[in-house]
Amino acid sequence: MRGKVWKFGDNISTDLIAAGRFYHLRSNMPELAKHCLEDADPNFAPNAKPGDFVVGGRNFGLGSSREHAPITIKMVGAGAVLAQSFARIFYRNAVNVGLPVIECDTTQFDAGDQLDIDLAGGVIKDVTKGITVTFHPMEDAMRRILDDGGLVEHIKKHGDFAIS
């Protein structure tokens, strides 16, 4: 995966990703996606290119259980979300909708850097800076769901959970 960094800070809540004032757009995902992360960076949704990366700090995705948060990030085109740590429900939701989430040291990446990510190998190359950051691959159970393309596909394929 290769793309550009969109940099965000610590504690990016689901209220920043998919705000309550757009609640009425939750059954109109293409419209809702236009407002993705609007209050954190209004340039993100209109300008992100397919394959770009959302890069946060600590506790990315805290707050509500709205799955619309990772779905709209995916719809904007992000190839993955990278953060130092994730809130639990966001992480699980991202896997369920087939959006890769990577827990790693994001402090060295800056907005606009080009990253080259080997998801299975656990290696991120910052092509702009010429540095490499490694990360632990995700737990097996979730990896299986992500590899199937998300939870709907996982259950359709196996008829049940097949996480071990």
**Interface residues with other proteins (CB under 8 A)?**
11, 13, 15-16, 19-21, 23-28, 39, 58-59, 62-68, 85-89, 92-93, 96-97, 139-141, 150-152, 155-156, 160-161, 163-164
Alpha carbon 87 to chain centroid distance?
A: 12
**Shortest reach from residue 97's CB to other proteins, in Å:** 7
86 φ/ψ angles, rounded to the nearest 5 degrees: -125, 150
41 φ/ψ angles, rounded to the nearest 5 degrees: -155, 100
**Shortest reach from residue 49's CB to other proteins, in Å:** 25
7 φ/ψ angles, rounded to the nearest 5 degrees: -95, 135
CB nearer to other proteins: give 23 or 47.
Answer: 23
CB nearer to other proteins: give 72 or 115.
Answer: 72
**Shortest reach from residue 55's CB to other proteins, in Å:** 17
101 φ/ψ angles, rounded to the nearest 5 degrees: -125, 130
CB nearer to other proteins: give 116 or 153.
Answer: 153
CB nearer to other proteins: give 5 or 151.
Answer: 151
**What distances in angstroms separate CA 85 from CA 30, 119, 153, one per listed residue?**
28, 17, 26
